[in-house]
């Protein structure tokens, strides 16, 4: 394990020389020419971009890809990439007091710093970080450091830590906006939200109560509040279930744009929406987090895949 001594962005080649682990981890250029980490272990293969510290692939040994990535994603610095696991921070969706601020916060389109690559008995752990700077302060005055540690093994573990490096408390929302790959969203179900209250963003954010499993049969954009339970995505087409365990995540967002919503998204193909389902470990709306100076908050999401 080693770490950089400078914040200057390095090329994929330089990062590979510094961090690469022979036969296990390479740093190569992504479709937009920015560095991405490619992991190959007996337990799984995976990919994580420096762009947004976004995981774009996880394929456990003997299983199909678990993470959806749009064929039409834009690979440009400063643009969001459709699919994978974008990080939303410090707000979710639009910023309440600034309609011109980017959706989902200030870090999903930034280039993060590769801190370390560790090969351990669980697989490979990739750590990336980012800190507040003049750009983030233009949109949000707080001082922060974020650390995203992702372990690619027989499970995929995401540990997202927010640190308050300033002298005043701050209030933030966060989400690991995970796009799961499903055989057909119309036959997938989500277990673990029965009886939970949610705000339906497709129906003026009316408060509703989930009864039984979540089934997707129209555009869906639901924020389940006070929802700490594990989730399970049951996928009869790919004949698998994805188990999602959450820690320190008090809300869950479920999203699929359906055909209507897809027409408004230039980076999602019209035949792609049936193959994605977002189920997002998060702390949003009334579950947003208040963080005192010099304190950390860690949210963890761990996923495993089993045959149905
Ligand atoms: O997770 C749900 C959501 O916030 C929706 O409201 C929808 O806008 C979606 O995320 C995608 O957001 P994006 O900014 O990536 O187009």
Tens of pLDDT, residue by residue over 74-124, are 999 999 999 999 999 999 999 999 999 999 999 999 999 999 999 999 899
Dump pLDDT digits (tens) for 41-78: 999 999 999 999 999 999 999 999 999 999 999 999 99
Asked if residue 201 has its Cβ within 6 Å of ligand 1, the reply is yes
**In sequence order, what E strands does 177-265 have?**
179-181, 189-191, 197-200, 206-209, 214-215, 220-224, 231-235, 240-247, 251-256
Dump pLDDT digits (tens) for 228-268: 999 999 999 999 999 999 999 999 999 999 999 999 999 99
Count other C-beta atoms under 10 Å from residue 118's C-beta: 16
Statement: residue 225 has pLDDT above 80: yes
Asked if residue 66 has its Cβ within 6 Å of ligand 1, the reply is no
Ligand 1 atom showing the smallest separation from residue 175 Cα: 1
Ligand 1 atom showing the smallest separation from residue 177 Cα: 1
Ligand 1 atom showing the smallest separation from residue 93 Cα: 4
pLDDT at 9: 73
**CA 279 to ligand 1 centroid distance, Å:** 11
Statement: residue 223 has pLDDT above 80: yes
Statement: residue 2 has pLDDT above 70: no
Ramachandran bin of 93, using left for φ above 0, alpha for ψ from -120 to 50, beta for the remaining angles:
left
Asked if residue 104 has its Cβ within 6 Å of ligand 1, the reply is yes
Please say whether the beta carbons of 107 and 121 come within 8 A.
no
Asked if residue 221 has its Cβ within 6 Å of ligand 1, the reply is yes
pLDDT at 1: 42
CA distance 247 to 229: 9
String of b and e for 237-275 (b: at least 16 CB within 10 Å)? ebebbbbbbbebbbbbbbbbbbeebbeeeebbeeebbbb
Asked if residue 253 has its Cβ within 6 Å of ligand 1, the reply is yes
Asked if residue 93 has its Cβ within 6 Å of ligand 1, the reply is yes
Residue 55 makes CB contacts below 8 A (sequence gap 6+) with: 46, 47, 48, 49, 67, 84, 85, 150, 156, 158
Mutate to test the pocket of ligand 1, among 109, 175, 252, 255 (most ligand atoms within 8 A of CB): 255
> What is the biggest distance separating any 2 CA atoms in the chain, rounded to whole angstroms?
53
Total-model pTM: 0.96
CA distance 66 to 150: 15
Statement: residue 6 has pLDDT above 70: no
CA distance 208 to 224: 9
Statement: residue 133 has pLDDT above 90: yes
Mutate to test the pocket of ligand 1, among 54, 101, 109, 221 (most ligand atoms within 8 A of CB): 221
Asked if residue 255 has its Cβ within 6 Å of ligand 1, the reply is yes
What are the tokens at 109? Answer: 């389109």
CA distance 114 to 5: 11
CA distance 120 to 275: 33
Asked if residue 177 has its Cβ within 6 Å of ligand 1, the reply is yes
**CA 121 to ligand 1 centroid distance, Å:** 36
Statement: residue 5 has pLDDT above 90: no
What are the tokens at 257? Answer: 């744009």
CA distance 117 to 3: 9
Torsional sign, CA 207, 204, 245, 2: negative
Alpha carbon nearest to ligand 1 atom 13, residue: 103
3-state secondary structure of 87: strand
CA distance 86 to 79: 12
């Amino acid at each position: 394990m080693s770490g950089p001594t400078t914040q200057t962005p390095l090329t994929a080649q330089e990062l590979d020389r510094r961090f690469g682990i022979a036969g296990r981890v390479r740093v190569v250029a992504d479709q937009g020419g920015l560095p991405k980490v490619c992991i190959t272990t007996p337990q799984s293969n995976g990919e994580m971009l420096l762009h947004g510290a976004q995981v774009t692939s996880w394929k456990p040994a003997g299983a199909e890809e678990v993470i959806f990535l749009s064929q039409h994603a834009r690979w440009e610095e400063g643009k969001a990439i459709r699919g994978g696991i974008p990080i939303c921070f410090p707000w979710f969706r639009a910023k309440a007091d600034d309609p011109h601020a980017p959706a989902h916060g200030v870090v999903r389109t930034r280039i993060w710093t590769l801190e370390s690559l560790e090969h351990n008995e669980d697989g490979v752990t990739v750590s990336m970080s980012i800190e507040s700077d003049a750009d983030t302060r233009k949109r949000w005055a707080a001082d922060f450091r974020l650390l995203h540690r992702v372990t690619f093994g027989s499970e995929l573990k995401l540990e997202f830590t927010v640190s308050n490096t300033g002298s005043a408390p701050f209030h933030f929302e966060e989400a690991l906006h995970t796009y799961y790959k499903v055989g057909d969203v119309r036959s997938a179900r989500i277990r673990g939200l029965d009886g939970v209250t949610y705000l339906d963003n497709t129906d003026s954010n009316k408060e509703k109560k989930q009864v039984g499993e979540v089934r997707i049969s129209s555009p869906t954009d639901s924020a389940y509040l006070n929802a700490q339970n594990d989730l399970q995505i049951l996928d009869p087409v790919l004949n698998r279930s994805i188990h999602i365990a959450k820690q320190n995540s008090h809300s869950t967002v479920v999203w699929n744009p359906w055909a209507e919503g897809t027409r408004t998204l230039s980076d999602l193909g019209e035949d792609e929406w049936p193959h994605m389902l977002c189920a997002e470990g998060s702390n949003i709306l009334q579950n947003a987090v208040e963080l005192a100076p010099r304190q950390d908050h860690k949210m963890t999401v761990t996923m495993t895949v089993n045959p149905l």
